[in-house]
Structure 1
Amino acid sequence: MSAERHVLILGGTTEARRLAAELAADPALRVTSSLAGRVAEPRLPAGEVRIGGFGGPGGLARWLREQQVDALIDATHPFAGTISFNAAEAAADARVPLLALRRPGWVAGPGDRWTSVASLDEAARALPALGERVFLTTGRMGLAAFAHLEDMWFLVRSVDAPEPPVPARMETLLDRGPFTLDGERSLLRRHRIDVVVTKDSGGAATSAKLVAAREVGVPVVVVRRPCVPRGVREVADPGAAASWLRELLPQPRPFP
């Protein structure tokens, strides 16, 4: 048996890549990052990488046992949803310690005109009362919820091109964060945006649009995060996740 301790990171986020880079610097650790494969050209983290699903919680539990994983860290996107529940079930089945690395959500401040909704369908229902030219930053998945709004114009920003069904009056902007405040200001002005739709992803990489909208009084429809498994320990940043792992898997040498 290898002396290395094996850590599986369910990744795809900025925080997951930062954590993988820190952990992979330790030769006593074998670090594997798992990506869902929804992005055509993902940013690959340090260490080993696998792409694709596990086949549900049973498949993930089997992989944890077969690969002799010592710790599992769920650092997926806040809206990944199902994978977090699969991770909790699989970790319990395989008896592997589990930690959730979840960035804090955004909080409205003075001057923000936010409408909080529970889903993309609810966001679509709220739009007609708020504006006509929509900056839609929820990614390429789920655009069908807005396809029936034929009188509205949409600017859709995503990493990869969306597939139908999509709104009839739509322009696509293929881009990847982080985004600058000046860039977001220019985008809102150039496209005459009067309402923004976003998911509460949290983090700084895509928050500039919220500041830009606040400055010009543009309302923002914010889709709340889905529920997460109860009883799973959570931390908010990669440093705290590394500290948890240091305590869980003590190393014979100082942790980097």
Structure 2
Amino acid sequence: MNPRVLILGGTGEGRRLAEQLDELGVPVVSSLAGRVREPRLPKGEVRIGGFGGPEGLAEYLRDERIGTIVDATHPFARRMTDNAVAAAATTGTDLLVLRRRAWSPESGDDWHQVESLAEAAEKVGELGQRVLLTTGRQGVEHFATARDNWFLVRSVDEPEHPLPPNMTTLLARGPFDTAAELDLLRRHRIEVVVSKNSGGTMTEGKLTAARQLGLPVVLVRQPELPKVPVVHTVEDALAWLRKHRSHAG
């Protein structure tokens, strides 16, 4: 697995992969975007901040002698993924995408799947007035003109302006279990939940809670994956890296 592995991180999967590689003695550096005020730092070397587009990332790959990129960013960080694909192609660097699987509907779910936050903002008014909005601090502006709705906006950091006129901010970091989500939805008399389909278990409790309460959920679909090697678990990423190392040797 040498030379170094660059993990484009910011997710639990990225942190766990960095920990595993560090324990194996593989030189690894994790890159975080720096959008969260107090990010959870992975083991090993960490850099925080952008690269300056695909050109800047390509320069970094050359300067730091990166042998493999693992894109373990959030499923909706499509710009970073596109930059990684372009930089890898430019420099001939191997690229693996580690992306958790999207959630799938279960019996009893009332899901309304859309392609964008703008479409979600149009849809939410048809389904209820009191909304739990869990799409992160960015993108809340798409709901800023929804004057007939009240929003409980939950995010790790303060959401970016412009904001809906009728809202309350709840700063919190997952995981959120089903019992806590049920209490939250009942206490705030939530009528509709809005989320990105991020997958994983840390925030899945709101979907289970919505199902149990019979609430509609507006869910933004994940962007399409690039045409590069893709795995869905840390274990599969490690297996891919081991195989790649043996072939390279």
Shorter-chain TM-score: what band? Answer: over 0.9
Q: Tell me, yes or no, if structure 1 residue 244 matches structure 2 residue 240.
A: yes
Asked whether the 8 Å contact 2:156–2:171 carries over to 1, the reply is: yes
Work out the percentage of aligned pairs sharing the same amino acid. 55
Q: CA deviation at 1:225?
A: 1.2
Quote the residue 1:254 is aligned against.
Answer: none
**Contact 2:154–2:170 under 8 Å retained in 1:** yes
User: Which residue of 2 is the match for residue 142 of structure 1?
Assistant: 139
Alpha-carbon deviation of 1:235? 0.4
- In structure 2, the residue matched to 1:216 is 213
- Secondary structure at the counterpart of residue 27 of structure 2: strand
Question: Following TM superposition, by how much is the alpha carbon of 1:138 offset from its aligned partner in structure 2, in angstroms?
Answer: 0.2
Aligned to 1:14: 12
Deviation at 1:26, TM superposition (A): 2.0
The residue type equivalent to 1:16 in the other structure is G
1:157 aligns with 2:150: no
Aligned-residue Cα RMSD (Å) equals: 1.3
Once residues 234 and 127 of structure 1 are traced to their aligned partners in structure 2, the CA distance between those partners, rounded to angstroms, is: 33
Runs of 4+ in 1 over 3 A off after TM superposition: none
User: What CA distance in whole angstroms lies between the structure 2 residues aligned with 1:37 and 1:82?
Assistant: 15
Residues 9-51 of structure 1: per-residue CA shift (max 9 Å, x gap)? 0000010000000001122x21100001100000000100001
Match of 2:115 in 1: 118
Find out whether 1:91 has 2:88 as its counterpart: yes
**Which residue of structure 1 aligns with residue 130 of structure 2?**
133
What CA distance in whole angstroms lies between the structure 2 residues aligned with 1:91 and 1:198?
A: 31
The one-letter code of the counterpart of 2:72 is: A
Preserved CA contact (<8 Å) 1:70 1:96: yes
Q: Which structure 1 segments of 5+ residues have no match? A: 252-256
1:168 aligns with 2:168: no
How many aligned positions are there?
A: 247
Measured in 2, the distance between the counterparts of 1:94 and 1:225 equals: 28
Q: 2:24 — aligned with what?
A: 26
CA contact (8 A) 1:85 1:228 kept: no
SS at match of 1:44: coil
Give CA deviations for 1:69-125 in whole Å, capped at 9, x if unaligned: 111100000000111111011111111111000000000011000001111111111
Between the aligned partners of 2:124 and 2:237, the Cα distance in structure 1 is 38
Q: 1:76 aligns with which of 73, 77, 80?
A: 73
Matches within 5 A, 1:184-223: 184-223=181-220
